[in-house]
Chains A and B, each alone.
Chain A
């Protein structure tokens, strides 16, 4: 149901800028935690009945009576007919009620401006991404579990000592434990784990005790994670931290775990929290691209397509310049060297033979430059696939009405 203004009866909305629940009609503002308790009814009443037909959840808007189709996990939404913000209290039962909420720290206009300012700095970002309208930016609370994890792991690691021809491979065994407190595990299975993990960090000191009024005007889900999924995610995160920390204990470089076992225990005293994010979906070349913004820090998470023509033109232009100067240098070296042997086959052979010690390191350095470049190129490509992911698109599309 919508929480209505006690002065004029218009639906209230949470305003991140003033940190108040405000009424757009009469301008009244209230502290979320001071909204009268009688406004919140956690029992399932007639007006907010959520009916399930053929795996489809239908919510009846308490303001206009319109029927809205919602997902199985949504707990707050906006009516597509009258625009009233609604919190489905019946879904926030005591068992699934979050402990904390981190309210949005800035509004929709500011989120749009943050995205625009960042995109202006992007050399290869196409024009449609720079012209975002605030109306297309939506706020959502993403559910997380905050867990304390105890992780035990025993591994065999391969490491290299020395460099070049003197490099030697050794094998190391390490066993150890790591305790992680307040590890954030995103608990809405509809949003990809990688997308939500990249939204971190959040300043958990700003968490407030859960109050439904903070959700007014925003979309939100409740946790739909199973213990199996929680264990899997916590184990993967803890193992990644363990291995990164353990690498520092080995006096070798290029360390790689080649075999191992692990066990992860999750403290049963876990807490849950709703954390804020802004999202916007932009269609580009027939594909949806979902941009996420951390609602607390303003950190943007996305991988955007780029103008391939511009990229390769610049590579060609700068590469051509370098080619020109490098060719002159190599020509001068080659010319003077070959002239000593005459410009025949003997000179050419002498040039090749004597230049091999110089050419090989040059080729090696160039290979390193190319591989590092390729690594970044592929990284961007991977992030674009994530931004275009149908999971993220479906998650956000459902909440855009």
Chain B
């Protein structure tokens, strides 16, 4: 009984290793072979300027505190003179209008 148990134990553990490593290796090969031109964030051709305006770490896990942080962070951003200045230069057309140069010039 013990020997059978040892053989079963060895086969099950060996099988788990065999399947997971075999599946892992060939899924990688499959992804490389058949998933061509996968999008990466670094591929997106833009230049960006990023700035964090407010930070709070390890805040309590309470919905009302989450909402306070979100609201105050957003209010600071949209009340800033920079935001107001950029808003003056931004597109303000109704959602169902077709995008065109002519529409933008009219503004």
Contact = CB atoms under 8 A, between A and B. Distances in A.
Interface of A: 94-97, 99, 118, 121-125, 145, 150, 152-156, 170-184, 187, 194, 197-204, 223-228, 230-231, 237, 240-242, 244-246, 249-251, 258-261, 263, 265-270, 272, 292, 299-306, 311, 314-331, 334-335, 338, 342-345, 347-348, 351-352, 355, 359, 362-363, 366-367, 369-370, 372-377, 379-380, 383-384
24 contacts: A96-B102, A123-B33, A124-B33, A154-B72, A170-B57, A174-B54, A175-B72, A176-B50, A176-B51, A182-B46, A194-B39, A226-B97, A241-B48, A259-B66, A259-B67, A261-B70, A303-B35, A323-B11, A326-B14, A330-B9, A334-B6, A347-B2, A370-B24, A383-B38
Interface string B64-103: 0011011111101110001100110111011111111111
Contact of B21 (A302, A319, A376): A319
A315 B23 contact: yes
B90 A268 contact: yes
Given A201-B43, A330-B10, A366-B16, A304 B36 contact: yes
Contacts of B15: 323, 327
B10 A327 contact: yes
Nearest to A380: B35
B85 to A, nearest CB: 10
Contacts of B53: 175-177
Contact of B102 (A94, A145, A174, A344): A94
A122 B31 CA distance: 10
A100 B42 CA distance: 24
- Among B5, B19, B23, residue most surrounded by chain A Cβ atoms (within 10 Å): B23
A259 B37 contact: no
Given A201-B45, A338-B6, A373-B27, A319 B22 contact: yes
A318 B38 contact: no
B33 A121 contact: yes
Contact of A372 (B24, B39, B52, B58): B24
B97 A227 contact: yes
A154 B73 contact: yes
Contacts of B43: 200-201
Interface residues of B, number: 86
Given A175-B52, A181-B46, A318-B22, 16 more contacts: A124-B30, A173-B55, A183-B46, A204-B45, A230-B91, A260-B70, A265-B86, A267-B91, A268-B104, A323-B18, A325-B14, A331-B7, A345-B1, A351-B9, A366-B16, A369-B21
Interface of B: 1-3, 5-7, 9-11, 13-31, 33-39, 41, 43-61, 66-67, 69-74, 76-78, 82-83, 86-87, 89-91, 93-104, 107
Contacts of B78: 152, 263
Contact of A176 (B20, B44, B52, B94): B52
Can you list the 5 inter-chain pairs with the closest CB atoms, starting with the nearest? A175-B73, A319-B22, A343-B2, A228-B95, A323-B18
Given A265-B87, A266-B91, A373-B23, A171 B60 contact: yes
B57 A225 contact: no
B37 A348 contact: no
Contacts of B35: 303, 376, 379-380, 383
A312 to B, nearest CB: 9
Given A343-B1, A348-B2, A201 B61 contact: no
B92 to A, nearest CB: 8
Contacts of A153: 77
Nearest to A303: B35
Contacts of A96: 100-102
A319 to B, nearest CB: 3
Contacts of B58: 170-172
A125 B6 contact: no
A346 B48 CA distance: 67
